[in-house]
Chain A
């Protein structure tokens, strides 16, 4: 069983819609990530939060807006998306202490389809 929970598992939205993806972990990890994965491709890093602050934004378009309300939750707000944004969106978390080896714990992903 995954310890990173993502909702919804599937989302279909029009280009004018506003929706959100949610991610939750209860492992005490203080780093959380959003990745985008297109079919038959590796995950691509979008955002990294460490201690609830945005640490890395990989030049992601502003139609994607991340939010980290607390150490257990991570949201990705979506607005005015394009069909090419259709993909599997993966949330991950990792430790931030001295034992951190960069191991990522992934959720099962949210499959997004933009019509």
Chain B
């Protein structure tokens, strides 16, 4: 069975600082991996996805993530945080048989201090 673990329910950074949100997955087969962002009272928006083409994936808004099979990790980073990055971030995994069941991590709330 697939699962996703996000380390840290809350992360606080200063504006301009590095953002690092951690995600580890468990899957018996090569998975598809995603990071979604959710702003207050809105739906989820895809930040980036890993589908095995490249281990370093670049997404929107300056975010990127690196797939590390040996560590079963897919951590999300951004070199310089902006106030507008404050939101809830979900790591997610889906299998490769059609992707009907996407498993979401518990989420990490990112706070950005001025």
Contacts and interface: CB of A to CB of B under 8 A. Distances in A.
Task: Determine if chain A interacts with chain B.
Answer: yes
Interface of A: 2, 4, 6, 31, 40-43, 45, 48, 50, 55-56, 88, 90, 92, 94, 96, 100-109, 111
Contacts of B32: 101-102
Contacts of A107: 43
A108 B43 contact: yes
Interface in B43-70: 43-46, 49, 51
Q: Is the interface of B mostly helix, strand, loop or mixed?
A: loop
Contacts, number: 69
B44 A90 contact: yes
Contacts of A105: 46
B111 interface: no
Contact of A106 (B44, B96, B101): B44
Interface string B60-94: 00000000000000000000000000000010001
Given A41-B107, A42-B106, A102-B32, A31 B100 contact: yes
A61 B105 CA distance: 24
Contacts of A94: 99
B34 A103 contact: yes
Interface residues of B, number: 24
Interface of B: 32, 34, 36, 41-46, 49, 51, 90, 94-96, 98-102, 104-107
Given A41-B107, A42-B106, A43-B104, A102 B99 contact: yes
10 contacts: A6-B43, A40-B107, A48-B101, A50-B98, A101-B32, A101-B51, A101-B99, A102-B95, A102-B99, A106-B44
B98 A96 contact: yes
Contacts of B43: 2, 4, 6, 90, 92, 106-109
